[in-house]
Structure 1
Amino acid sequence: MRIVLLLLAFMNTIWASSGEDLTTTWVGILCLIVFIVGYYAVATEENYHINKAKPALFMGTFIFILIGIYNFINGIDPTALTHSVDHLIFEIAEIFFFLFVAMTYIEVLIERQVFDKLKYNLVSKGYSYKKLFWLTGILAFFISPVADNLTTALILSTVLITIEKENKNFLVPGAINIVVAANAGGAWSPFGDITTLMAWMSGKGHFLDFFALFPASFIGWLVTAWLLSLFVPSDKPHFNASTEPKVSILMGGKMVIALGIVTIMSAVLCQQLFKLPPMWGMLFGLSLLKLYSYRLKRKRGQELNTFKMIGKIEHDTLLFFFGILAAVGGLHFLGYLDLAVKLYDSAGPIAVNIGVGFLSAIVDNVPVMSAVLKANPTMGLDQWLLVTLTAGIGGSLISFGSAAGVGVMGKLRGIYTFGSHMKYAWTVLVGYMLSLVIWYVQFEILGLY
Structure 2
Amino acid sequence: MTVLLLILVALGFLSIVVEDVVHIDKAKTTLFFGSLVWVLFFIAPPSHLTHEALMEQLNDQLLDIATLWLFLMAAMTFVAYLSGKGIIDGIVNRLMPSRMSERKLMIMTGLFAFLFSSMADNITATLVCIAVLMNLRLPAKKLLRYVVLVVFSVNAGGTALITGDVTTLMIFLADKVEIVDLLVLSLPAFVAVMSLAFMLSLGLKGDLELEKRDITFGHGDKAVAALFFMTILTTIGANVAFGIPPVLTFLFGLSLMFMVVQFMNKDEPVLDYIRKIEFDTLLFFLGVLLLVGMLKELGILAYFPKLYDIMPTLAANYVVGMVSALFDNVPLTAALLKSGIEMTLPQWLTLTYSVGVGGSLLIIGSAAGVVAMSKVEELTFASYLRYAGYLFVAYTVGFFGVLAIGVML
TM-score range, shorter chain: over 0.9
Please list, as runs of the form range in 1=range in 2, the aligned pairs for 1:142-157 lying within 5 A after superposition. Answer: 142-157=115-130
| Change in 2 beyond 3 A, CA 1:203/1:308 | farther
For residue 254 of structure 2, what is the amino acid of its counterpart? L
For residue 149 of structure 1, what is the amino acid of its counterpart? N
Matched-pair contact (CA < 8 Å) for 2:346–2:403 = no
Name the residue aligned to 2:390. Answer: 427
Q: Gapped runs of 5+ residues in structure 2? A: none
Name the residue aligned to 2:171. Answer: 199
Name the residue aligned to 1:59. Answer: 33
CA distance in 2, matches of 1:271, 1:202: 18
For residue 202 of structure 2, what is the amino acid of its counterpart? L
Matched-pair contact (CA < 8 Å) for 2:113–2:154 = yes
- Aligned match for 1:415, one of 378, 387, 393: 378
Name the residue aligned to 1:442. Answer: 405
Aligned CA-pair RMSD: 2.1
CA distance in 1, matches of 2:149, 2:48: 51
Name the residue aligned to 1:21. Answer: none
Kindly state the Cα deviation for residue 188 of structure 1 after the two structures are TM-superposed: 1.5
Shifted more, 376-385 versus 100-109: the winner is 376-385
- Aligned match for 2:329, one of 336, 341, 365: 365
Name the residue aligned to 1:219. Answer: 191
Name the residue aligned to 2:207. Answer: 235
For residue 216 of structure 1, what is the amino acid of its counterpart? P
- Aligned match for 2:217, one of 244, 249, 253: 249
- Aligned match for 2:157, one of 176, 185, 189: 185
Calculate percent identity across the aligned residue pairs: 34
1:29 aligned onto 2:3: yes
| DSSP-derived class of the 1:273 partner | helix
Please list, as runs of the form range in 1=range in 2, the aligned pairs for 1:1-20 lying within 5 A after superposition. Answer: none
Residues 114-172 of structure 1 deviation map (CA, whole Å, 9 limit, x = unaligned): 1221342356611232222222221001111111222111101110011115x023201
CA distance in 1, matches of 2:307, 2:48: 33
For residue 342 of structure 1, what is the amino acid of its counterpart? K
1:77 aligned onto 2:50: yes
| Change in 2 beyond 3 A, CA 1:87/1:376 | farther
TM-score, normalization by structure 2: 0.93
Please list, as runs of the form range in 1=range in 2, the aligned pairs for 1:385-400 lying within 5 A after superposition. Answer: 385-400=349-364
Name the residue aligned to 2:227. Answer: 259
1:125 aligned onto 2:85: no
For residue 190 of structure 1, what is the amino acid of its counterpart? I
Residues 46-74 of structure 1 deviation map (CA, whole Å, 9 limit, x = unaligned): 222222211221222111111111139x6
1:275 aligned onto 2:246: no
| Change in 2 beyond 3 A, CA 1:140/1:240 | closer
Residues 330-357 of structure 1 deviation map (CA, whole Å, 9 limit, x = unaligned): 1111121110123323434322211111
For residue 193 of structure 2, what is the amino acid of its counterpart? W
For residue 238 of structure 2, what is the amino acid of its counterpart? C
TM-score, normalization by structure 1: 0.85
CA distance in 2, matches of 1:123, 1:381: 42
Equivalent residues, number: 409
| DSSP-derived class of the 2:111 partner | helix
CA distance in 1, matches of 2:48, 2:67: 33
Residues 197-250 of structure 1 deviation map (CA, whole Å, 9 limit, x = unaligned): 33334443333321121222111111111000114342324x556xxx533334
CA distance in 1, matches of 2:388, 2:189: 17
Name the residue aligned to 1:8. Answer: none
For residue 43 of structure 2, what is the amino acid of its counterpart? I
